[in-house]
Amino acid sequence: MAYSDKVIDHYENPRNVGSMDKDEENVGTGMVGAPACGDVMRLQIKVTDDGVIEDAKFKTYGCGSAIASSSLLTEWVKGKTLDEAAAIKNTAIAEELELPPVKIHCSVLAEDAIKAAIDDYKSKK
């Protein structure tokens, strides 16, 4: 399968890889997917008091497209409000990375991950 240059770039130079302390009050963690399905994505966001995402980190077990989708997402959500981040659609990720049809589920997973991270953050408030 041929990958787009953007997928390869994110895969070879993933942005914002890492972990945050999930117990901190201003950190939201979203972990989606399952090892049995071949992909697990963990996205973490650090949110300011006025509801802006100041930092984002990810770790992903999955194919190159899954890694690229989560890497791209961390770039996109930084500086956005929670509402803006929650409005990111998987189709935008798929389009930006030129994902083939069999890899669309990777972008869906990324959308699920940010939503889960936001929910986790809100549940702490």
Partner 1 sequence: MKTPIYFDYSATTPVDERVAKKMCDCLTIDGNFGNPASSSHEFGWKAEEAVEEARKQVADLINANPKEIIFTSGATESDNLAIKGVAHFYKKKGKHIVTAKTEHKAVLDTCRQLEREGFEVTYLDPEPNGLIDLDKFKDALRDDTILVSIMHVNNEIGVIQDIQAIGEITRERKILFHVDAAQSAGKVPIDMDELKVDLMSFSAHKIYGPKGIGALYVGRKPRVRLEAQMHGGGHERGMRSGTLATHQIVGMGEAFRLAKEEMAADNERIRMLRDRLLKGLSDIEETYINGDLEQRVPHNLNISFNFVEGESLIMALKELAVSSGSACTSASLEPSYVLRALGRNDELAHSSIRFSLGRFTTEEEIDFAIEKIHDNIGKLRELSPLWEMFKEGIDLNTIEWNAH
Catalytic residues: 37, 106
Pairing of strands 27-34, 53-61: unpaired
> Residue 20 Cβ, how far from partner 1 at the closest point, in Å?
12
Binds partner 1 (CB under 8 A): choice among 56, 72, 99, 109:
109
How many residues bind partner 1 (CB under 8 A)? The answer is 31
Each residue 10-29 as x (binds partner 1 by CB under 8 A) or -, in order, gives -x--x--x-x----------
> Residue 46 Cβ, how far from partner 1 at the closest point, in Å?
17
Q: Of 43-102, which residues contact partner 1 (CB under 8 A)? A: 59-64, 66-67, 102
Instruction: Give how far Cα 50 sits from Cα of 78, 80, 106, Å.
Output: 14, 11, 31
120 binds partner 1 (CB under 8 A): no
39 binds partner 1 (CB under 8 A): yes
Give me the residues that bind partner 1 (CB under 8 A), please: 1, 3, 11, 14, 17, 19, 31-42, 59-64, 66-67, 102, 105, 108-109, 112
